Chains A and B, each alone.
Chain A
């Protein structure tokens, strides 16, 4: 299991389009992937779940990946967060 804290960088926050990007990317991996905010563990492969986070710019989310491809999942998802979902 890998855990890392990621920050939402883009101004608009984790709105619908970035949420969809995140979910599509997460769904490619076999690992279980969770995002945690305020104690809620949310399945990163669920669009409604990810949108429920309503993560604004600057908010911090704990990403957990667990499974055979947990390292790849973490690397790629981290890169997506760092790219500001293509909105920087």
Chain B
């Protein structure tokens, strides 16, 4: 039925060691060559302390190996021959690459062993903790689950709103209207979402489409060129999905907004709103209101709940006092200025 029932996920199985060079840890290649073609299949990092000491039973060699002060000073504490022996032992495993933190270096003869075994070596100016933090985040992103959804993704008052619905229902037109009102387009038509940590979906456009969009009867337009830099942004967290559909009297729509039916996409719950369309309805304004209401709820104010509570209170009062002739006016006495 809807596209959410058949989501295909994309996930990289490996990346080449080469790609680490685009990570934020400012790597410089110490030993390159064929080692740069090695594949990394695990997003986790490893510090090979015990492996260097000779215990290799549970050595997670397939991970990126990080050499910090501990490893370096441990190696320096060994006799030259033991050092080579320790190194030869871990080099028997197919290690994809080694990263030396704090701009450390290894002795020439050790580097020679690594080169022979086709293990790439990099050094970074960052200290170990920082390196691990930055690299983990980078690898997490590289190996993250991705999904592609069809819709228009707009930042409305800072809320990431994905407009979905059948082809031709007017998603792009609503997005355009939102842009005109000062909101920012992330992507139109095809939006790539990447799962970040466990509970966040980050959306962005594709390389090719960027901020181009198709308007029926007009063709392709370039939103950035047309509306300027304020009209676009490159990425945004997905917060609400607005499902547009033709008004169907058999479908039920919420009347109070108390029930919440989040959509579950790759195990991330995303708020969703089903919005029936009919002529004369200003969907742009409603989309803004959806975003503002989301913000209010995020900051702890749920209008539907507040109203329900007030109602309950009033029912209770009436049950107790049995007063049937209640004045329903908000203001019980109009003052004399007649304004």
Contact = CB atoms under 8 A, between A and B. Distances in A.
A and B physically associate: yes
Interface of A: 12-17, 19-20, 23-24, 28, 38, 40, 47, 51-52, 54-59
B315 A55 contact: yes
Contacts, number: 51
A51 B311 contact: yes
A15 B319 contact: no
Contacts of B328: 40, 52
B249 A28 contact: yes
Nearest to A39: B325
Contacts of A12: 312, 315
Interface of B: 249, 252, 254-256, 258, 304, 307-308, 311-312, 314-316, 318-319, 324-326, 328
Q: Which of B249, B254, B308 has the most CB of A within 10 A?
A: B308
B307 A51 contact: yes
B310 to A, nearest CB: 9
Given A40-B328, A47-B256, A51-B311, 16 more contacts: A13-B315, A13-B319, A14-B315, A15-B311, A16-B304, A16-B308, A16-B312, A20-B255, A28-B249, A47-B255, A51-B307, A52-B328, A54-B311, A54-B314, A54-B318, A55-B315
B256 A20 contact: yes
A72 to B, nearest CB: 15
Q: Which of B304, B311, B324 has the most CB of A within 10 A?
A: B311
